Chain A
Amino acid sequence: DIQMTQSPSTLSASVGDRVTITCRASQSISSWLAWYQQKPGKAPKLLIYKASSLESGVPSRFSGSGSGTEFTLTISSLQPDDFATYYCQQYNSYSLTFGGGTKVEIK
């Protein structure tokens, strides 16, 4: 199975900050990676798919990059609505795995 490792596990930031979350795969997954945002008590929300494609309706301050084994999610200017937990998820060989999550907290 492919393991997904996110870092950091918790991130403290202020409104307006540029935030970067990293996701590493235990083996190459090409660009088969998605990013989700989850708020307490709610279902995850798709932000990015195929490593860098922005889902319709998602603000352009969110961007994704990377390929192979290392990926990043960047929030260019953190907004109050962005404090949440973020998960990466890989697809490879008909099996899906999620990263452990990164909680973005208010500094």
Chain B
Amino acid sequence: QVQLQESGPGLVKPSETLSLTCAVSGYSISSGYYWGWIRQPPGKGLEWIGSIYHSGSTYYNPSLKSRVTISVDTSKNQFSLKLSSVTAADTAVYYCARDPAMSPYYFDYWGQGTLVTVSS
């Protein structure tokens, strides 16, 4: 059974960098597929942040592209998100998920999500 688990600080100060990691079990990232990050501000809808292939190829949401970096570590079977220059608008539940396709498409397995609050 594929499982994903997000980890990282729950509180980040404005202007700093948000960093999260998603540990994958039950499936080897090296086997393929895309892996994505999605966020959801409290009480609001879902927003795709970006996706990464096991080889390191990335695609980002154009509205966030200048601040986002997604990387993969196949040796640890995990992938990571960095979002720089955060503001209160970046407060959200952050999900990692698997995209079972050869290009960014849809997400079949999701982590439970982690709430990140941006506040001083």
Known: A43-B95, A95-B59, A98-B45. A34 touches B106 (CB 8 A): yes
User: Which of A1, A91, A96, A99 has the most chain B CB within a 10 Å cutoff?
Assistant: A96
Query: In the assembled complex, which residues on chain A have CB atoms less than 8 Å from the CB atom of B95?
Result: 43-44
Query: In the assembled complex, which residues on chain A have CB atoms less than 8 Å from the CB atom of B61?
Result: 95-96
Query: In the assembled complex, which residues on chain A have CB atoms less than 8 Å from the CB atom of B105?
Result: 32, 34, 49, 91, 96
Contact B62 A87 (CB under 8 A): no
Q: In the complex, what's the smallest C-beta–C-beta distance from B117 to chain A, in angstroms?
A: 16
Query: C-beta contact mask, A80-107 vs B, less than 8 Å → 1, else 0?
Result: 0000000101010011111111000000
Chain B residues close to A by CB (< 8 Å):
36, 45-48, 51, 59, 61-63, 95, 97, 103-108, 110-113
State the 6 A-B residue pairs at the shortest beta-carbon distance, nearest first.
A34-B106, A43-B110, A96-B48, A98-B46, A94-B59, A91-B105
Chain A residues close to B by CB (< 8 Å):
1, 32, 34, 36, 38, 42-46, 49, 55, 87, 89, 91, 94-101
The 17 sampled A-B contact pairs (Cβ below 8 Å) are A34-B105, A38-B46, A43-B110, A43-B111, A44-B46, A44-B95, A46-B107, A89-B106, A91-B103, A94-B59, A94-B103, A95-B59, A95-B62, A96-B36, A96-B51, A98-B48, A101-B46
